[in-house]
Structure 1
Amino acid sequence: MSESPSAVPGTQRPGGRTAKVRRAVLDATQETLAAGGFPALNMDQVAAAAGVGKTTVYRRWGSPVGLVADLLRDMAEQSLPAADTGTLAGDLRANAALVRETLTDPRMGAVFRAVIAAAAFDEECARALGGFYRTRLAEWAVVAERAAARGELPAGTDPLELLRAVSAPLYYRAVVSQEEPTPADAERAAAAALAAARAGAYAP
């Protein structure tokens, strides 16, 4: 994302009480999104659920979108690092499994659906969601870079396009066609992306 951390509400992360306040507010934000979606994200109610003064929440986060943006940054920071199974096939399967597990988790799946829905009509929320995925793709790009170094991929393969190809079918099922992605779907998505990459689909 283009904004500097100091310019975005809620992104300062000093220790002590300030960090505890941020954690409590983001936990309350996540619970609210999971239970009622973006329309239910009321600043006063989040403050009450977090046990934090309303003035503090309005001053630091500014709006419901500010809460969502900071929640996405926090989720990116807390996400698991990229897998290193020793093969590209194994790494892509791990990536697909992680995406599927997140989308089918009763709480996290609901949070992502709520944020994706909000991003469809709110530009700031869309930027925050895009920033989250850019961060995650960049963190996983190393699996393709390692594979290229091992000779498993054509030179110049775009790691971000490869990773998008793994997760796209799973998001389509979960968000567009409203189907719950299965482990078999995750395996298929990883295998299809790997076959396409080996054929040069993501190389110049």
Structure 2
Amino acid sequence: MTFSLCVREAFRDGSGERHRRLGVAVTTPLPGVGRLCPYASEDAAIAVQSHVDAELGERAMSYLADGLAIDDALGGLLCADDARERRQIHGVDGEDTFAHTGADCPGWAGHREGENVTVAGTHLEGPSVLERTRRAYESHAHGEDPLASRLVDALAAGREAGGDSRTELSVGSAALLVASTREYDPIAPYSHDLRVDATETPIEDLRETYENARRGYEDVLERYA
């Protein structure tokens, strides 16, 4: 897999009650990344990449839902994983961050951690991809635009810094997930769980999918509210 970011934001709803939102976005020059890599709930947002094991992500989210801290949940799973040096996994829970890049991850591989964000990738052009992705998010953290939109912007910044080094691969994918401790209107999350599974322009198409989803939600409100 290529590169991804996981973020946590605190906010207040209209009544002043404190909440948090958690999000993850990922892109790769391979099809179908949204089925394997990103996970998000009101407890955590994580990304599992490089020698992907979907069961690892599902077990991690189950442990986090049971109340384990992210370091205990992900660190414990990796300690019991014979393939841990080929894995890359990172994310945020309600309080902390976690990131692991195994020594045998392919190409240039690494991660970065901030107070409320983790970024990681493999097969990258270099560390500037992660640094630009992180800066792009942090410079607009808690911005006026919805988190889903800002996650796509951060992916675009990483791509502009070089992105994935496997330029010979022509069909890629991208995905995003956003969750919150605030209960949403049943029809509201149209733009919070999006994926583009096979395209030559995954980030641009994820952006277009987001814009269409948001416009579709606004149309529903206008016609049927």
Alignment TM-score, normalising by the size of structure 1: 0.34
Structure number with the higher helix fraction is: 1
* TM-score, with length taken from structure 2: 0.32
Higher Cα radius of gyration? 1
Higher strand share: 2
